[in-house]
Structure 1
């Protein structure tokens, strides 16, 4: 075995042991004393070499002892030995400087006093200054050497070799901070230039490389790249392909959060792995906080589906506006319990109620409205899984349509000021029961809003898929990647709109505040994302190579699934609002007595559990709905 490797491995084991148990202060103190003794010997040797013909290497006299005792005294006074040596920094150097300056000044003062009395000195004043230089240099050098050795051996075994993306002053400052951090798990090996032509080739003695060099493997020293959050946002919102290039080079991407989001003292502890949400993020939303506060503050607000992905985040978003009470309603006991524990822990002063109820149960809902007297309703409870609802059409219609109708009717009855309905892009030109049931709910909501029978403002919000929501494609892909694949995609050309949960819920609150009643608000979802590209990015973010480490297979479109989703129907157009990410879908749906009769008839057929007649009525009510054939439905039905 290589003896150098064996020595390094032995040293690393010692350092690991020291990392768990810091060296006692008394040991550092004794080392500092030894350094001061050695410095004093050097000083006396230098003085003797000038004044005497015969060199004297060892000095053991009262002058030497006095110098060492004075130095030890200031070690104790300033506690310069108290710091952790491997974390030596600027403060430690100041501490050593204070100790040596105090020793030199004290030595000169004692010299003058003794000289005035006995006409002798411990050490000539020039020698005292020489001692100060030697002692400070050796004390600080000892700490720097220990720190550097620790970093080198630690880096050899545990550090991730990483590039810094960019060559700006900020990027260089990040690199310097990481390099000087003794607790870092990263070894900076260079900078990646965002432009192909280089004006210089090195920064901080580290090489600057281009994407072309990395792609052709002309230079390859790192396995990861660190990027600031600000730059990450700029790249993600500018439709840049730089992040995709990094992933294709099989480089793991890490981000450094904004300074205000730091939670620790070490810069390296703040560096986190980039996730899919970071790559798909868009321009941050600017909410009209003052306006929202006037609407939601001191109000009793009911949120249905409060334990789900969207509902729970609506609750969290509402908290900042200080509502009087938040009524969290859901039929799922365990998730609602977990949500309650979270709120009790993080918001001890928040007044909320946890309510187990099913939106299909009108009497139960009526008692809740009567007892708690909510003023605003956010309706997020729904069945949303397309294939599952294709197999259970009555359940989809019962929850998504009847449940919404129940809450709408009660909102009129109890004079709710605002009712905000969370719909979906699948309600546009639906090909599945889930989308058609949501479209029915939209139609009923609009019919009540147009009837002018109450002062309730009924507002519909319509958006696409939400990253990381329960049952979405993201957790599904994560589970498949954890099991080393294969990752299943239904079709190579299938696309979907995506936004983050936080963004979606902020826009729901904003739309809920701006609505006058009867509008369908459509959110700007950005560009649709190909699901195959999403799968590849997730595989690369997990440190694997698509089709090599983890395979991707196509399974075919599921029942009721479309290749692409739409946010507007064919006959709809949009009107702008004051918020650039929210548009009003100007619907052309004609409400006549026949349509109102159909809505009533649909309710009756659902109550009778008649699947065939329910779907027949549904097709008349939503003429753009093109369902599966009866044969296909019977094949998938339960």
Structure 2
């Protein structure tokens, strides 16, 4: 019966009703008359007619099109109302034709009997089918549902009708629901989480709370982590009338973006293709995390041609193959080389007649750049200078620099180099002879990018820990890789020249909270002084050279709204192009000496907000044994004066601001 076609199942239900409904009418007549005399007064045709009219009422209420396994109170109520309307019509017909021999009160009795039959037959069949599925899925996963609301109840019914999951109970924080029964499943308070999970051998818990905030989600995950079970989340509300919806479609694994503390920012489609569609586009650093995602988004917008530039052969080959396989109709040119190579960049722009440039090529790992300041400055500063110069020379329409939140009041060389790159683009934007629109985009940390904390934590969890965090109070703004790429593309469309665009990224997230959430996502528990039997330890190792406790996205510049409600535009002070060019020449001369003090002094002359941190002495790692345990950031000291005659050259120039 379970394997029958849908049409055959409907025919079977109609046949069963054609047999049962005349019997219901007979019982109603017997109850009305008290014997067979009244019941036998009407011939068989009357009983068949009543059954046919009742089946018509059932059809109007969609009773036959409903999936029996998911039949609910709403459908039964609609069926009862349709039946009552049909009986009322029959009563009015009897009254109109003045049929005195028919006992009209029998119709009311008939309604109660038929409705009882419908409830008993459908609910009984529903329970039979659910038990049949339960017996046939002995290997299904035992799960519990966190949240005994409407969404949780619907999810439980969907799971009961499927074969992959077997829900056994609910967990909820509301005391009013404790020990209640919802859909045949008992509700337990979350205080008994560990006890019930062990007693019922629950393997995973599904969070069924629509619109749950990231803060509450992290709190729930911390509780679930104590039980040591996998955690999933309801991805969408379930329509119980749709038998095509499966539990696997209704739930999903938790993702990093669930922990952001804000919903992802959707792009504005009218801005998205303005600088890309039917245009020739160049992406520098095309093989990196941001550059490769930029390329993926660009090819969906039908550019005329796409040029990729990267100095990593493997990264360039990988993104080139991916794009060519997915979009064979797009013309793609891959160029192997450094963005600092002015001749290479000029040849690409001249021969390719490029309309739009997205400059993503840069060294971005703070500790590496801090210990290799010469190469970091050359790559990030000279690369930006080459791109800006050649873009203006070859009349590129739009040129967008990908910057960093570390460029705001920088404390490290990487952030300072990105701020110098911003100054280069700002200076290029004020040149009246340039047809190019220059703009900049500042990112926070990008989840899942190379060097991001998420992949590091995942590797450390896979090794069994510990998770290393520099400081218990360190926090960062986070965004998704697709968000970052979309922001860059939209910024180019909104730019008017010299703009700095920043995404509204909500509140910063503490790294230690992110670490604990990832431990919970892995179905593991944190090991600490209070929970010595946990799986993964969190250990504080002290701030890296040049690292801030809290990053910033905005400076003291003026902030304006943009065409996108979640993207802000800023106008900041800039150096005169001639002054900046001389400063950069002096900076490169300082880099030739490899004297850190001289280089830092030159950087300070260009970026007056630059406040380098002294190199900290190595400290032993500190486990996270108690609240407030922290590796204290080293105190800031003024940079040393350069011990060279270059200082006289630096002092000749005053950073005139415009």
Could you say whether these structures have the same fold, taking a TM-score greater than 0.5 normalized by the shorter chain as the test? yes
Task: Output one character per residue of 1:213-262: Cα deviation in whole Å (capped at 9) or x when no partner.
Answer: 5488699744532245xx555433888844554445555321343489xx
* 8 Å CA contact 1:497, 1:527 repeated in 2: yes
* SS, match of residue 316 in structure 2: helix
Pairing 1:301–2:281 present: yes
* SS, match of residue 575 in structure 1: strand
* SS, match of residue 564 in structure 2: coil
> Which residue of 2 is the match for residue 57 of structure 1?
none
* SS, match of residue 161 in structure 1: strand
Pairing 1:94–2:79 present: no
Task: Output one character per residue of 1:254-278: Cα deviation in whole Å (capped at 9) or x when no partner.
Answer: 1343489xxx966233333212222
Pairing 1:577–2:562 present: yes
Correspondences of 1:526-565 after superposition (within 5 Å): 526-547=506-527, 548-565=534-551
Pairing 1:189–2:168 present: yes
| Structure-1 separation of matches of 2:296 and 2:148 | 36
> Which residue of 1 is the match for residue 181 of structure 2?
202
- How much has 1:624 moved relative to structure 2? 1.6
Task: Output one character per residue of 1:46-70: Cα deviation in whole Å (capped at 9) or x when no partner.
Answer: xxxxxxxxxxxxxxxxxxxxxxxxx
* 8 Å CA contact 2:203, 2:230 repeated in 1: yes
Task: Output one character per residue of 1:294-330: Cα deviation in whole Å (capped at 9) or x when no partner.
Answer: 3321011111111111111111222332211121211
* 8 Å CA contact 2:178, 2:189 repeated in 1: no
Task: Output one character per residue of 1:449-502: Cα deviation in whole Å (capped at 9) or x when no partner.
Answer: 122230211111112101110111100000000011111111111111111111
* SS, match of residue 451 in structure 1: coil
* SS, match of residue 557 in structure 1: coil
Correspondences of 1:65-104 after superposition (within 5 Å): 88=3, 91=6, 94=9, 97=12
Pairing 1:162–2:138 present: no
Pairing 1:179–2:160 present: yes
- How much has 1:285 moved relative to structure 2? 2.5
Corresponding residue to 1:255 among 226, 230, 233: 233
- How much has 1:160 moved relative to structure 2? 2.9
- How much has 1:173 moved relative to structure 2? 2.3
Q: Which runs of 5+ in 1 are unaligned?
A: 1-79, 105-140
Structure with greater helix share of residues: 1
* 8 Å CA contact 1:495, 1:531 repeated in 2: yes
Corresponding residue to 2:606 among 621, 633, 637: 621
Correspondences of 1:460-539 after superposition (within 5 Å): 460-539=440-519
> Which residue of 1 is the match for residue 256 of structure 2?
276
Corresponding residue to 1:441 among 386, 409, 421: 421
| Structure-2 separation of matches of 1:321 and 1:412 | 25
> Which residue of 2 is the match for residue 349 of structure 1?
329
Pairing 1:329–2:309 present: yes
Corresponding residue to 2:576 among 585, 591, 611: 591
* SS, match of residue 377 in structure 2: helix
Task: Output one character per residue of 1:64-120: Cα deviation in whole Å (capped at 9) or x when no partner.
Answer: xxxxxxxxxxxxxxxx8xxxx7xx48739718939999xx9xxxxxxxxxxxxxxxx
| Structure-2 separation of matches of 1:287 and 1:480 | 34
Pairing 1:373–2:350 present: no
TM-score norm. by structure 1 comes to 0.71
| Structure-2 separation of matches of 1:420 and 1:239 | 36
| Structure-2 separation of matches of 1:346 and 1:233 | 34
| Structure-1 separation of matches of 2:579 and 2:316 | 41
* 8 Å CA contact 1:237, 1:282 repeated in 2: no
Could you say if the C-alpha distance between residues 337 and 99 of structure 1 is closer, same or farther in structure 2, counting changes exceeding 3 Å?
farther
* 8 Å CA contact 1:235, 1:242 repeated in 2: no
> Which residue of 2 is the match for residue 115 of structure 1?
none
TM-score norm. by structure 2 comes to 0.69
| Structure-2 separation of matches of 1:232 and 1:246 | 18
Could you say if the C-alpha distance between residues 206 and 145 of structure 1 is closer, same or farther in structure 2, counting changes exceeding 3 Å?
closer
* 8 Å CA contact 2:222, 2:516 repeated in 1: no
Corresponding residue to 1:419 among 393, 399, 403: 399
Could you say if the C-alpha distance between residues 366 and 298 of structure 1 is closer, same or farther in structure 2, counting changes exceeding 3 Å?
same
* SS, match of residue 551 in structure 1: strand
